[in-house]
A and B are shown apart, each in its own frame.
Chain A
C-alpha cells in the first residue's frame, strides 16, 4: 500500500536559519507532488507543486526538490521567521495521498 512518511517529530530552529523538511514515499511513482501549510485550527493552504521531471522549484523563500530515484522531496524555507511556524504537509497527487505533516517551530 502507498506510504508517505514525514518526520513526526517537530523541527525546532532559530530565526534566520534554513528549515529543511523531508517527505519520503514508497510503492508509487507520482507524476507530481505538492506541499501545503496548515496552521492550528485551519485547513491546509497550497504552497508549491513540483513535477516529476523538475528537480527543483522555488517561490520566494521556499524551495522544493524532487528526487524520483530516492523517492523523496525536500522542502526548504530560507531565512526562516517565527511566522513560518506551522505544520507542513506533502501530498502525492493523482491518488490524493497526504503525509501526516511535520511541525516547524521557528524561535526568535
Chain B
C-alpha cells in the first residue's frame, strides 16, 4: 500500500495564478483532510470530507476550494494564489472519527511558494 500520496511535492506560483493539489489514499478511508503548516502555527485544518461527495470547512477555509468526487481522492484548489498561501500543505485520511479508528495518516506534504 502506498498510503497517502500528494502531488506535486513542490510548486512555485505567481500571485493570481491557480493550481490544484491532489491527494490520493489507498486505504479505503472515509475521512480526508487538508491542513496547512506554517512555522510556529502548527497544523491548521483547511477543509475536510467525511465521505465521497461531501466537503466541510475547517479553521482556515478562505481562498481554498475542495472536491471529493471519488472516495480515494481529495483535491485542494487555489483559484487566485496569494503570498499568504505560501505554506506546506498536508493531506491526511482516517477510517472514521470514532476514537478507536481515528488515527490520521498523513501524506508527505506539498511545499507551495507564492511570489
User: B-contacting residues of A (Cβ < 8 Å)?
Assistant: 4, 6, 8, 31-32, 34, 41-46, 49, 51, 89, 91, 93-94, 96-101
Contacts and interface: CB of A to CB of B under 8 A. Distances in A.
7 contacts: A4-B42, A34-B103, A42-B109, A89-B43, A93-B97, A96-B58, A98-B35
Interface residues of B, number: 24
* Residue of A31, A43, A45 contacting most chain B CB atoms (<10 Å): A43
Q: Which 7 A-B pairs have the closest CB atoms?
A: A43-B106, A100-B42, A98-B43, A96-B45, A46-B103, A98-B42, A44-B106
B59 interface: yes
B99 A49 contact: yes
A100 B35 CA distance: 13
A32 B99 contact: yes
Nearest to B48: A96
B59 A100 contact: no
Contact of B109 (A43, A49, A100): A43
B75 interface: no
Contacts of A100: 40-42
B76 to A, nearest CB: 15
A25 B51 CA distance: 29
B107 A8 contact: no
Interface in B70-115: 90, 92, 97, 99, 102-109
Contacts of B109: 41-43
Interface string B36-51: 0000111111001000
Given A89-B43, A96-B33, A96-B58, A43 B108 contact: yes
B42 A46 contact: no
Nearest to B58: A96
A94 B104 CA distance: 12
Contact of B108 (A31, A42, A91, A93): A42
B106 A93 contact: no
Nearest to A100: B42
Given A44-B43, A89-B43, A100-B40, A94 B97 contact: yes
